[in-house]
């Protein structure tokens, strides 16, 4: 494995961390209330899961060609 290659797991967890930090910043800044947190907290996890599935599909497709 190339030591300079991007690891998909690290990239996805970084994305999830940034999205959760964004939700936290919106809450602390007063842009959203507690009633919006019910659907905003799981959203970064769903986006991260979708990104990892896309990355997995692209990696498998690249190996099959």
Q: Show pLDDT as tens, one digit a residue, over the chain (65 residues).
A: 566 666 788 889 999 999 999 999 999 999 999 998 899 999 999 999 999 899 888 877 666 66
| Domain ranges within the chain, ordered by starting residue | 9-64
Q: Report the pLDDT value the prediction gives residue 33, as an integer from 0 to 100.
A: 92
pTM score, whole prediction: 0.78
Q: Cα separation of 22 and 12, whole Å?
A: 15
Give the long-range contacts of residues 44-52, CB within 8 A, separation 24 or more.
Answer: 44/15, 44/16, 44/19, 44/20, 45/16, 47/15, 47/16, 47/19, 48/12, 48/13, 48/15, 48/16, 48/19, 51/11, 51/12, 51/15, 52/8, 52/9, 52/12
- Report the pLDDT value the prediction gives residue 20, as an integer from 0 to 100: 95
């Amino acid at each position: 494995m190339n030591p300079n290659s991007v690891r998909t797991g690290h990239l996805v967890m970084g994305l999830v961390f940034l999205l959760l930090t964004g939700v936290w910043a919106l809450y602390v800044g007063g842009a959203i209330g507690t009633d919006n947190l019910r659907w905003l907290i799981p959203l970064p996890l769903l986006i991260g899961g979708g990104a990892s599935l896309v990355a997995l599909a692209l990696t498998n497709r690249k190996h099959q060609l």
